[in-house]
Each structure stands twice: as C-alpha cells, then as structure tokens.
Amino acid sequence: MADSGTISGYFAVDHRTWARVCGFGLNAAVAYLVLSRGTGKSNRESAWSVMAIEKYTSISRSRAHDAVSALIEDGVVRKLREGTRPKYELVPWHLVPGSDPRPPLSSYAQSAVDKALQGKKLSRWDTSTLADAVKKGWLIEDGDGKYSIAPRPDTDPDWTWLPNELVTGAAGETPPIELIRQVQDVMTLRLFIDLYHAQNLREDGGISRKIIREKYERVKVGQQGPYDVWGFDSESIYVSWVGPAVCHRRDELTDAEKKAGKNPAVDFFRRMEQLVDLGLIEWVPHLFESDEPEAEIIHAVGIAGSDSLEGRIGFAADEAGRAMLNDQQQQYVESHACD
C-alpha cells in the first residue's frame, strides 16, 4: 500500500472501508472514526481505544467495546497489543477479507491455476479455464504456455481526508461526530463523511453541482445605465444518483410518503437537512457563467448573513444591486423575496 504521508490537522479513512463499516451500525462507524483519528502518518496504527470513544462521544464503555469487537471480528481492524493500553491496526482495504473485486474462481479453476503455476501438464479444459482466469484478472499469460499471478488491481488507498476536529471538536464544542451520532442514523453519518470524499473546493467550490444543486430562476428587476440588475428566486433542489447520493436512493415508499408527493430522494434530502440543521453543512449560492455543466464559477454569493468571505461578497452584491433600484423596483424585490 502506498504511503500517503500526512497532512497536518487531518486524518484519513479509506472510502471503501468506510462504506463497509457503516454496515455494522452507528456505534461501529463512530468507533472506526475515533480509532482512525488516533493513527499516525501511515493512517494505519492507532493507540486510541475504547477510552477515546468514551471521551469524545456519549457511547458507553460496554457499547464502545462491542463496536470495536465487531470491527475486529469483520477484519477491518486488527488488535496489535492487549492490556490497558491496547494498540490497533486499521487493515488496508486490499487486505480486508472478502474485499477483492475480481470474480471468484471455482474450485476447478483454482486447481487449474495451481497446476499452471507449478509447471504441470495442462489438459485442453485446463487451458480453457486458465484463459477465463486471465480474463477475470487472476493470472497473466507470459507466453509459451506459462502464467504468473496477476497483482490485485485496487491496492492503492482511496483516502477521504477529514479534519481532526471532526472527532475531537474545536474550542470546547461538541464534536461533529457526536452531534451526528445523536441523530441516531448511521446513513446520515455516512453521507457527511462521503461528502468530504466528493467535494472539490478548488474546482467546484464544494460539492459538485453534478451531484446536488439548488436551481435559481433569474429575474430582471431593474436597470441603470448600461447595467442590468438581476434578482434570483430559488426554484428547486435536485440530486443526481451518482457518487455519495447512490446509497441513499429508496424506491419503495410508504403509502403516506406517496400521498405526500415524496420521491426516491426522500431519505437523501432528510439527511442533508439534518446536517444543515446541525450547522455542519451550509448552502452557498454561486454565480455561474450559464446553466451548462461545463460553465465555470464566476464567484460565490453567500446569503446566510455570515461573516464568511462568501457571505460578505453576497452582502456587497445585494447592497450594490438595491442601490440601483427605484422605490417601486425595491418593493417588487421585497414582495417576491428575490436575492
């Protein structure tokens, strides 16, 4: 496994391992994040244990112990040292049992592979079977009837980098993982971590609008000299079933949900709303060149009234636009709640 080095103030979890541990329940997922926070530059060995889980979350000692035991039993975590100061290894994804993406070989195919590697005489059926093993990625044909073991295709880590404060909290505040744990939905926690994996601040300003976007309708509200003044009304929020959204799609809705006009995104948007309510995600409108997917960002236009750079840009743009409107146009803007 390639050593990624370390980024000061951050720790990492493998995106594929994270998806797997979420299947063990909320406590196990939280425990895995805490153990990961305690790793060093290899993101592999951790001296953090049940005591750290108790310290940074409200999970009781017995439940924390059960959560760590579940991770060990599955093979995503290995205990390296016993005693009052235990040490753990977060097993690299390609060494986790059952994680190999290649189609499994039958017992007969495995026997044929063993014969080929030992240089034994092969039957016509063996040769046909070995061709299938090559196709599935288990063997490499070297020529002249000789074969070698193919390397596994996914040995490089797929890191999700997370701030240390996600586990330990900042300035005495409740850690984000504890806030989400109190929601009691492991999929909300999974969504939060998966969004870290998906985001690209430099290219997309955060989460790509190809995954989730809030569409605004542009309305011309005034003009002064050569300048047009535009207002923007929020139209709707859309999600595409790609990346971090895929596992949250639910096609089987209850009768009550159908009657209320819900769609397969009901769980996704509920979880997004929970993260927004907790203050862990913020919607920041951006002005783009056009509605086309290839359009570049012009600049952010924060509307939350915060003191962030985006908020100050949005406030300045709003003030400038309103200063160019007459009283009647101002009233139109207020009545239509344009931003």
DSSP 102: S
The pLDDT of residue 92 = 96
pLDDT in tens, 61-99: 999 999 999 999 999 999 999 988 999 999 999 999 999
Q: What is the pTM of this model?
A: 0.86
The pLDDT of residue 167 = 97
Q: Which domains can be identified in the chain, with CATH numbers? A: 10-96+157-173 (1.10.10.10), 107-149 (no CATH), 201-335 (no CATH)
Cα angle at 97 between 93 and 99, to 5 degrees? Answer: 55
If we measure between CA atoms, which residue out of 200, 160, 174, 206 comes closest to residue 22?
A: 160
For the segment 33-50, the average pLDDT, to the nearest whole number, is 94
Q: Is the pLDDT of residue 5 over 70?
A: no
If we measure between CA atoms, which residue out of 212, 186, 192 comes closest to residue 277?
A: 192
| Rounded CA separation 282/207 (Å) | 11
Of residues 172 and 239, the one with the higher pLDDT is 239
| Rounded CA separation 96/302 (Å) | 43
Of residues 240 and 283, the one with the higher pLDDT is 240
| Rounded CA separation 176/188 (Å) | 12
Tokens read off for 122: 């092969």
Residue 134: strand, helix, or coil: helix
The pLDDT of residue 173 = 92
Name, in order, each residue with C-beta under 8 angstroms of 188's C-beta and a sequence gap of 6 or more.
180, 271, 274, 275
| Rounded CA separation 12/166 (Å) | 12
If we measure between CA atoms, which residue out of 112, 109, 129 comes closest to residue 121?
A: 112
What confidence category does residue 2 fall into, taking pLDDT thresholds of 50, 70 and 90?
very low
The pLDDT of residue 1 = 30
Number of helical (H) and strand (E) elements in the chain, helices listed first: 14, 11
pLDDT in tens, 181-221: 999 999 999 999 999 999 998 888 899 999 999 888 888 98
Q: Is the pLDDT of residue 304 over 70?
A: no
